[in-house]
Every structure is written in structure tokens, then in C-alpha cells.
């Protein structure tokens, strides 16, 4: 890791008519990344025809930059559009050229149709907005479309399903570039759900669903403050003042997973943060996050990320060595 941080350049392509929500997500999330007091990303929006750009909401945006901005990007993100079945050949050519140059290329929502038209998703795992999944399969049968995930990464190409799933994709990119601690801080600052589970080698990801209720919110907060303790289902149920059966039912309704699955995810996320931001020995990291032993930490972290604790620390540590380099 070099001592000097060079901001990663993200160019967002806005097809016409562009989704305002899709367009806002990258700037909102990447723009909140700070590492050692410096911005982690530079975000620029461009379009095929600079000037007034129609949106799906009936407004016009003024976008001064054309597709030549893609040449200077490290990552290219194609936003969703209200005309997904009519890929702009200029955008298709731009993302194809970006991919040929080794850039990371991502799409939000229906932006996946632009990537598919460019041939980037052929034989690869991908996803898009569920309402257009059948049309994607019909038009691009060689795409390995996954309809049950919020976002998918296959090599240098990332796609997300509709609407807020773009938030999860952006946070995944931030975590890949700067680690879990930075991504979780961005999520906290943006008041969105934290980084969902997944790993550097697990390209198809089924992230933890967003929490949909507040009945167990106090118990989740209490568990987060006590991750260093060997919490059981009985402990969680006692805190919530309900039976284990009731807790399990309510917890799953609110969080989409069982209490113990949720707890394991939080322990692994805490372990990641400690590996990134401290020099604690592995047994102390394991104890602090409630995984018990260094062997248990190694097993769970390797299964989740494909990296051993020492390898994860080497790749993502910010202790004394500066921020992680971004190509």
C-alpha cells in the first residue's frame, strides 16, 4: 500500500431518459468516502449528447460532459434508463472500449441492457430489474441471469437489480477498494443498511436483506454492543422478553435471516474492521468479535471472503501504512 491516496475515478454514464434515483446513488455514496481526510473517489457524470438530458421523472438535467470522459475513468457505472430495450449504440461502444482497456464496468437497474448489448455479460452471471428479467433472457440468452440476488459481480463486471439495490452495489465496490471499515462508515453517514455479506472471491452474492421492522431493533443493538460475549438464542430471547420461538419468527420477519445467521454476519464484519484498523493478535480479534478462537476466526473469514485473517489484514489494513492503492 502506498502512503499517498490517489482518488479512484468513477464515471457515471447517464442513458436517456435516465433514472434520477439511479444517477444520484454513485455520487451520494462514492462522494462520502474519505480516507485519511482525503476523498477516495472523483465522480463525474457524462452522457452521449452533452446538454439537456431527459429523465424518467419528466425533468431535464444539464450534463456538460460527453462519453470521452469514459477514457479517464477507473470504474464506469451505467445508470438505469426508462428505455432499457433501446441501448444507445454510442454508450454500448463506450462501455465495450472501457472493458477492452481493463476498466471495471458496472450497471444499476436497467443499465445492464447496455452491458449486455456490448457483449460484456455473455457467459457471465448478471442481474437486472426483476420486471425486465424475462426480456433480458429473451434478448440475451447467453447471459447467466440471476433473478434472486440484489447484485452480482463476475470478474470486472458488476450488475445490480432495481432501485435501492444500486446502493448495495456501490457499497460493495467501496468495500472492495477500501475495506469494510470504510464502507460501513459510508453506510452510517448515508443512513443506509451496512455492507451486506459476501467475499472477494464470491462473485455471485445474495446479500443480507434489509431490516424491515423495529420489534427486535433494541435486541439487535444490544447484541452489537456485546459481540465479544458468547450470545445464544436464549440470551437474545431473554433480552427481547419473548420465547426463543417467537424471537426466531420475529427476527426472521424483520431481518430476513435467523438470529444466529445475523449474529455470525455481525461478528465477521467486526472481525474485518479490527483486522483493518488494529494490530491486535488474531486470538484477540477472535475474542473481541465473539468468534472464540483464532482457528474459528480463520474458518469463518476464509469461508466468507476467500482470505485468511493474515491475508485479509495484508490486503486491507490501514494501520500505519496508508490507504489501499486503487488502480
Digit-coded pLDDT (tens) for 87-118 = 999 999 999 999 999 999 999 999 999 999 99
Start-to-end Cα distance in the chain? 11
- State residue 32's pLDDT score: 92
Alpha-carbon dihedral of residues 284, 285, 287, 291, nearest 10 degrees?
Answer: -150
Distance CA 96, CA 115 (A): 8
- State residue 324's pLDDT score: 40
The answer to whether residue 194 scores a pLDDT higher than 80 is no
Residue 324, CB half-sphere, CA atoms under 13 Å: how many?
21
Cβ pair 20, 84 in contact under 8 A: no
- State residue 57's pLDDT score: 87
The answer to whether residue 53 scores a pLDDT higher than 50 is yes
Q: What is the mean pLDDT of residues 224-242?
A: 92
Q: What is the mean pLDDT of residues 225-246?
A: 92
DSSP-assigned beta bridge partners for residue 154: 157
157 confidence band (pLDDT: 50, 70, 90): very high
pTM > 0.95:
no
Residue 51, CB half-sphere, CA atoms under 13 Å: how many?
1
The answer to whether residue 284 scores a pLDDT higher than 90 is yes
Q: What is the mean pLDDT of residues 22-37?
A: 92
- State residue 323's pLDDT score: 36
Beta strands at 144-145 and 41-46: parallel, antiparallel or unpaired: unpaired
The answer to whether residue 189 scores a pLDDT higher than 70 is yes
Q: Which residue has the cell 458488476?
A: 158
Cβ pair 112, 150 in contact under 8 A: no
Number of residues that make up the chain: 327
In this predicted model, what pLDDT tens digit does every residue of 236-262 receive, in sequence order? 999 999 999 999 998 888 777 889 999
- State residue 144's pLDDT score: 95
- State residue 197's pLDDT score: 41
325 confidence band (pLDDT: 50, 70, 90): very low
The residue that leads in pLDDT, 284 or 200, is 284
Nearest to 108 by CA among 46, 163, 173, 190: 163
Nearest to 14 by CA among 42, 51, 41: 51
Distance CA 242, CA 250 (A): 10
Alpha helices by DSSP H, the chain: 20-30, 89-100, 112-117, 133-139, 165-178, 180-190, 217-225, 233-240, 244-255, 259-277, 282-289, 294-305, 309-316
The residue that leads in pLDDT, 309 or 208, is 309
Cα–Cα distances in angstroms (integers) from residue 33 to residues 29, 37, 38, 194, in the given order: 7, 9, 8, 14
DSSP-assigned beta bridge partners for residue 52: 62
The Cα angle at residue 252 between residues 246 and 254, in degrees rounded to 5: 100
77 confidence band (pLDDT: 50, 70, 90): very high
Supply 7's cell numbers: 482518488
Cβ pair 189, 200 in contact under 8 A: no
Percent of the chain with pLDDT over 90: 64
Backbone angles phi, psi at 152, to 5 degrees: -135, 135
Amino acid at each position: 500500500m502506498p502512503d499517498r491516496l490517489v482518488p479512484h475515478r468513477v464515471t457515471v454514464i447517464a442513458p436517456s431518459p435516465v433514472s434520477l434515483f439511479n444517477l444520484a446513488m454513485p455520487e451520494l455514496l462514492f462522494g462520502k468516502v474519505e480516507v485519511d481526510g482525503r476523498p477516495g473517489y472523483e465522480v463525474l457524470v457524462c452522457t452521449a449528447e452533452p446538454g439537456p438530458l431527459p429523465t424518467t421523472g419528466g425533468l431535464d438535467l444539464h450534463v456538460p460532459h460527453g462519453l470521452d470522459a469514459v477514457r479517464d475513468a477507473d470504474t464506469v457505472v451505467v445508470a438505469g434508463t426508462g428505455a432499457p430495450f433501446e441501448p444507445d449504440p454510442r454508450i454500448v461502444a463506450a462501455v465495450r472500449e472501457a472493458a477492452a482497456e481493463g476498466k471495471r464496468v458496472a450497471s444499476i437497474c436497467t443499465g445492464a441492457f447496455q452491458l449486455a448489448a456490448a457483449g460484456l455479460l455473455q457467459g457471465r452471471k448478471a442481474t437486472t430489474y426483476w420486471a425486465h428479467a424475462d426480456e433480458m433472457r429473451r434478448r440475451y440468452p447467453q447471459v447467466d441471469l440471476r433473478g434472486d440476488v440484489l447484485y452480482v459481480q463476475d470478474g470486472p463486471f458488476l450488475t445490480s437489480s432495481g432501485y435501492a439495490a444500486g446502493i448495495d452495489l456501490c457499497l460493495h465496490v467501496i468495500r472492495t477498494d477500501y475495506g469494510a471499515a470504510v464502507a460501513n462508515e459510508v453506510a452510517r453517514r448515508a443512513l443506509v443498511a451496512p455492507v451486506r455479506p459476501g467475499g472477494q472471491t464470491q462473485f455471485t452474492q445474495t446479500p443480507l436483506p434489509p431490516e424491515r421492522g423495529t420489534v427486535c431493533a433494541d435486541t439487535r443493538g444490544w447484541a452489537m454492543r456485546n459481540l465479544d460475549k458468547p450470545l445464544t438464542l436464549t440470551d437474545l430471547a431473554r433480552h427481547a422478553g419473548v420465547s426463543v420461538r417467537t424471537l426466531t419468527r420475529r427476527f426472521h420477519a424483520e431481518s430476513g435471516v435467523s438470529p444466529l445467521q445475523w449474529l455470525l454476519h455481525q461478528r465477521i464484519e467486526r472481525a474485518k474492521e479490527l483486522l483493518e484498523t488494529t494490530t491486535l493478535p488474531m486470538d484477540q480479534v477472535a475474542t473481541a468479535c465473539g468468534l472464540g478462537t483464532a482457528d474459528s476466526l480463520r474458518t469463518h473469514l476464509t469461508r466468507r471472503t476467500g482470505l485468511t485473517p493474515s491475508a485479509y489484514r495484508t490486503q486491507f489494513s490501514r494501520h500505519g501504512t496508508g490507504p489501499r492503492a486503487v488502480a
